[in-house]
Structure formats: C-alpha cells, structure tokens
Structure 1
Amino acid sequence: MFPWEQWIPNGAEAEFQASSHGSRVSIKKRIEETCVEGFKKRTKNRVAKPTRALDVMVRIDEDYCTISIDTSGEILHKRGTRALSSDAPIRETIASALLFWMITKNEDANAGARFVKQTPKAITLVDPMMGAGTFFLEAAHLGENVSGRDFAFEQFPRFQRERDAKVAAEVEATLIASGSDEATPEALLSHQSRLRNPFAKFIGLDSDPKAVRTTEGNLKPLIGQHEIEAIQGDIFKVEPLAAKSSDNARWILANPPYGERLRIEGPLKDYYESLFAACERFAEPERACFILPETAKPTSLKAPREWKFDDSLKFQNGGIPVVALMFVRK
C-alpha cells in the first residue's frame, strides 16, 4: 500500500485525477475511487487539521503506474505580491522578466554583471495603462527574491523549512560563485553588493477608476519606500509631466490592448502609433517598451522622431503570441 502519510500532511485531503493508456485498467473514475479508498484506509487514524487539499495525478501507462503529487499549489506565475487583479492582467513573472530585459540590455556577458544596470540616474517607471499596477510591484521588488505566497510542498511531512532553506542557500551560493547560468537572476542581483534598485518613482495612468483603485490597493505596502502616483486619466488626453531633472530618467513599460480580449476602435497600427506619440508627449522617455501582437513590426510602425528602435523579444502572454518592442531615445 502506498505510504500516503509520508507525503500528505496530517488531516489534509487529496484530490485525485487519473489517466490510463494501453492498460486493461482503463476506467478513470474507478481508478480515482480506488485511490480514495486506499488513501482513507491508510490515513483513517490521523487527526484532522484544516489544510488545503493536495492534487494527486495517477497515470497508468500499460503496466506502469506513476503517482505525482503537486508541489506548487497555485500556478507559479502568481508570486503572491499582487492582491488585486484587473481585466487582462500581465503575469507577474512576465512583468519581472521584461524589467530585467530592459535593465540588462547591452550589459556584458559576465554572469554577475549582466543582471546589473550601472546608471547614475534614478528611474521613474511610467505605465500609461497600469491596470493592476503589476509592473510597479515587480519593479519595487527587483532583486529582493521576494515571494509572498506558499507552495504545496511546504505541507509535506518530509519538508523541514530551516533545513531545506539552508540546503537551497548553499546550492544558490555555489551556483553564483561558479557563474552558472542556472543561478536565478534575483540571486545574482542580490549577490552584487554594488547594486541598488534603480526604480525610485512610479507614475501610472488608467482611464478606468476601478483600475486606479486596484493599483492603489496593490501598491499600498510600498508607500514610504517609493514615490507613487496613480492617476485616473487617458494617456491620449492627459497633460504632460513636468520637465524631468538631469539626475532622473523616465522609462515607459506598457501592455496595451491587442484587439482581442480588449477591443479597440480602428486599425491597430493607427492605435499604436497614436499611443507612441502620446507617450512621448506625456513623458519624453529615455527608454520605452510596449507589448504588442506578434505581427507588429517596428519597420511598419511610425515611432516619434526622438526614438529609435532598439530590440524585440517574442513570447506568449495568456496564450497569445506577442512581441515586446523596445525603443530608446536618440
């Protein structure tokens, strides 16, 4: 009998999902019922404690049975820092990756230095369509290796927090010392004593008052650590920002509608070109990055004359093929 008590915590429930291929044991519902019966029999004398049910996958392939227990819990792109959400939000992990990409562009290939942007200027990050403020949250925690969530494996009886944290730290330190590509960007960033978070101020816009309230709620823990402005306004109509000081740079990072889940009027090309012009008028950014449908080409989009195309990065956002186009000031 499978030793469930070694993997499922005292009092926890298990939710079984079964699959079968090339086996005489082929009725999924019956496989799941059998697993439930065996689980209850093995754990019947345990004292119940309120814990989240763990997902268990039972896969039968011919004569082999594989039991997999979910170690993550909630899907991994949910990092636990964003309490409130909005329509068509950007995933936290994608937001973080784009910020690293913008910061590290043109860095040398050294494993430690490539995650560090040496800039004498403090950066004001501007999001003209801020939604839930995800870019700001990720920028604020850049390099801190912060996680505000729990993981399913932390419920396992085999898990010992202090011991396992020590082992993880030792492995991370070894990878950093060796300059390995397997070290996480956050760990490499934290390892650089010369690093400071370059983002000093956040300015967000959204025409939807609900989105403004959502961003304010998400950014509330950051008050006092960063200067924050959440403005209800339309990027195409709002008054320009005041002139920036010589020791401050403005970057724009935006995830505008793709014309699918959030509809826009008129051709996408016209909309994006108008957005570029509005962002230049509003902020005069030194660097600007926009997430657009994969079909968007920098050569076919008219950018402000003050900008030049710098680089692109293709990925998927919510299953939609997209491209991040980055422009820099001439």
Structure 2
Amino acid sequence: MTPSEIFLAATPGLEPFLAEEAREAGFGGVAVTPGGVTITGGWAEVRRANLELAGAGRVLARVAEFPAVHLAQLDKRARKLDWPALLRGDVPVKVEATSRGSKIYHAGAAAQRIERAIADATGAPAEGDDPVRLLVRIERNLVTISVDTSGEPLHRRGFKAFVGKAPLRETMAALFLRACGWDGTRPLVDPMCGSGTILLEGAARAAGLSPGRGREFAWARLAPSELRQEAGPAPAARGDIPPILGFDRDDGAVRGAAENAARAGLSGHVTIGRAALSDLAPPPGPPGLVLTNPPYGARIGKPGPLHGLYATLGAVLKERFRGWEAGVITSEPGLAKTTGLSFTDTGPPVPHGPLKIRLYRTGPLP
C-alpha cells in the first residue's frame, strides 16, 4: 500500500501559504483544498513533508479508495488490501471512521469491520498506547482510507517548555511570517514576544533548520521499508542570518522565551530582552519586518484598556521604523485601527481557539 495522495492539514484561511511553502520545497501536484493542501508522491515525500514543512499541522497519506454500499462489501474489500505492507503487527492501530451521504451510515460499525480485517491480516491490536491512526471517510458510498503519518500534531516541535497566555501555534506563526513575505533574509522584530514562537520559527527558517528536527513521527512505526532508511546527517545551521530580536515587559516571559530558544538550539540566532514598548528601536542595518501577536480583549480581558498599548505600538513604529513593514495579529479590528497604521492588507479570518484572528499588514512605513 503506497500513498495515492498526501494531504497536508493547515489552519483554515492559511492554506495558500502552506501551498506556497510546499512548492518552494519542491513537492509536486500542489493543490489548495479546504483545510489543507494536497501533494503527490510516495513514502519519501511523506517523510520529508513531516520533517521539513513548517506550516503543515499534520500529514495524512491516502492509501486506499474503493466503493462500498453495505458493511459486507466493505469487509470484503478491506480484507483484500495488503495491510502487512502498511502496518506492523506490534503497533496498535486505531480506526476512526466518518460517514456522510452513504448507505453505510453507521461509522462505528464500519470502523470495527476494518479493525478486524487489519487484526486478522497483521495481528495488530485495536487498543494500546500510542496507536497509529487510520482515518476512514465514507462519502457518497466511496470509502477513502488514510493513515496519519505525523502522530502528535506537527506544531509540537518538541522544544517549548514555557508557554505564555494563548500563544500562536508554531505552524500558524510560520505561515503568518510567510504571509508577510518574510523569507529569512531580512531582520525580524517581535516587540511583545511572549514565549518566543514567532522568533523561533523565524530563526529556524533563516538558519535553514528543519522544523521537525526535535521530535518523533508516527511514520517511524509503519511497515514500509522506505520509512526505515537511515536519514543523512542534518544540515548545519547557517550562521549568517539577519538580526532576530524579541522583547517583552514581563521578566518571566523573557526568561521562558530564552529557555525555549536554548532548547531549540537557537540561542545564537535570536536576541531576547526585557523592554517596554515605548523603548522599542530597530537594530542597525536594513529595514525588515515587525510581526507581533499582542494581547487582544477576548483573549486576555476587556479590549478597552488595550487601546493605549496599540496606540503606542503604532506611534513607535511610525516614528522609528521607517522603511520597515509591520504585521499585527489580532481578533479585534478596533484595536488594529487604534494603531493608526495604514494597513495595505487584511488577511482572512483564522480560527485560534474560540476566536477568529486576522493578520493586518502594512507596506514599507513612510
């Protein structure tokens, strides 16, 4: 069983930027679809997508597709699949099924039939710790089977021990950087950096480090021999990267972000310090990008007291960051307006927990 299609999950609203990243990384057949991006390829591409794509939240490999209009037919066709080529007998397998507009309407019964077919073919148990997830979608009588090759969501890079209040996921930060046109060659400043997510994603990209370098993946517990081949040595981090600076007024956040950077091997690539927003100044050299995820009312408290914070942000940027571009991520249009910045682009609404946030972008500041 080899992939017929690979699905890269993305935060809704950010799919085009994940597609851009996949194309730049050399993946083929890139197409945007609701909730993600599809690419073509085999197990080598599955492995590489998990390791290298900073914006993908999960990588699903489609391994089988067939029509079925009743459970007996589903059972018969599931038993014809070469499960030992995909799954190991010593690794638990969890089957999750959904059904829509199909004669097989009982998703739980469908999952049980496929679990029994797998157990009979491989001996793999349906229960156990850290199972491989098999996703079965039955839509208009067409059964599609995919395997989750990621395991833990890919935003869990394996480095952050300190987490601030309502932080961005790493995958979202990576795609917001891309949405701002930042390619790792210009300076980057986050004046309210919290746990440092934007900084660490930017530094890793600038230094050429794989986002998946510090974690394990579900594909390592699958059967295909292509996935068990030893990877070559990871490339060394580039040293000649632009200044990447983060600030926060909270001592605990500064310490936590610095510790996160150290665990990620990025201490030498980012500078994190305590500073009030009113003291913010650009580093020497060419203009770059200021990207920040400030507090917003629905996330931290009532938005009223935050108007002064946003007004200060806008005033400081207009006064001291001429030629720089800015990006402000917030759920509150009124707070974005309070900055007084001329936004050239307002991004699509992006789900962030119970909220919808947007990226407000400027061109080069006059």
TM-score range, shorter chain: 0.5 to 0.7
The letter for the 2-side match of 1:32 is: A
**Which of the pair has more CA radius of gyration?**
1
Q: Structure 1 residues 95, 225: CA separation in 2 closer, same or farther (over 3 Å shift)? A: same
User: Secondary structure of the residue that 1:60 maps to in structure 2?
Assistant: strand
Q: Aligned pair 1:225/2:258, yes or no? A: no
Q: Structure 1 residues 285, 216: CA separation in 2 closer, same or farther (over 3 Å shift)? A: farther
Q: Aligned pair 1:212/2:212, yes or no? A: no
Superposition TM-score, scaled by structure 1 size: 0.65
Q: 1:85 aligns to what?
A: 163
Q: Structure 1 residues 293, 28: CA separation in 2 closer, same or farther (over 3 Å shift)? A: closer
Aligned counterparts of 1:217 and 1:309: Cα–Cα separation in 2: 35
Aligned counterparts of 1:271 and 1:224: Cα–Cα separation in 2: 28
Aligned counterparts of 1:150 and 1:213: Cα–Cα separation in 2: 27
Aligned counterparts of 1:243 and 1:78: Cα–Cα separation in 2: 31
Matches within 5 A, 1:7-46: 7-23=86-102, 25-44=104-123
Q: 2:175 aligns to what?
A: 97
Aligned counterparts of 2:153 and 2:226: Cα–Cα separation in 1: 22
Contact 1:252 1:285 in 2 (8 A): no
User: Secondary structure of the residue that 1:252 maps to in structure 2?
Assistant: strand
Aligned counterparts of 2:259 and 2:129: Cα–Cα separation in 1: 28
Aligned counterparts of 2:282 and 2:175: Cα–Cα separation in 1: 29
Q: 1:178 aligns to what?
A: none
Q: 1:126 aligns to what?
A: 189
Matches within 5 A, 1:261-272: 261-266=299-304, 269-272=307-310
Aligned counterparts of 1:291 and 1:256: Cα–Cα separation in 2: 7
Q: 1:109 aligns to what?
A: none
Q: Structure 1 residues 284, 67: CA separation in 2 closer, same or farther (over 3 Å shift)? A: closer
Task: After TM superposition, give the deviation of residue 202 of structure 1 in Å.
Answer: 1.9
What are the ranges of 5 or more consecutive residues in structure 2 without an aligned counterpart? Answer: 1-78
Aligned counterparts of 1:157 and 1:39: Cα–Cα separation in 2: 13
Task: After TM superposition, give the deviation of residue 273 of structure 1 in Å.
Answer: 1.5
Q: 1:314 aligns to what?
A: 347
User: Secondary structure of the residue that 2:151 maps to in structure 1?
Assistant: coil
Matches within 5 A, 1:289-328: 289-293=327-331, 295=333, 300-301=337-338, 303=340, 309=342, 311-315=344-348, 316-318=350-352, 320-326=356-362, 328=364
Contact 1:60 1:66 in 2 (8 A): yes
Task: After TM superposition, give the deviation of residue 5 of structure 1 in Å.
Answer: 1.7
1:137 to 200, 213, 224: 200
What are the ranges of 5 or more consecutive residues in structure 1 without an aligned counterpart? Answer: 105-114, 167-189
Task: After TM superposition, give the deviation of residue 325 of structure 1 in Å.
Answer: 2.5
Q: Structure 1 residues 326, 159: CA separation in 2 closer, same or farther (over 3 Å shift)? A: farther
User: Secondary structure of the residue that 1:68 maps to in structure 2?
Assistant: strand
Aligned counterparts of 2:288 and 2:143: Cα–Cα separation in 1: 56
Q: 2:66 aligns to what?
A: none
Aligned length: 273
Write the deviation string for residues 159-204 of structure 1: whole angstroms up to 9, x where unpaired.
Answer: 51487979xxxxxxxxxxxxxxxxxxxxxxx9xxxx9854234232
Task: After TM superposition, give the deviation of residue 138 of structure 1 in Å.
Answer: 1.4
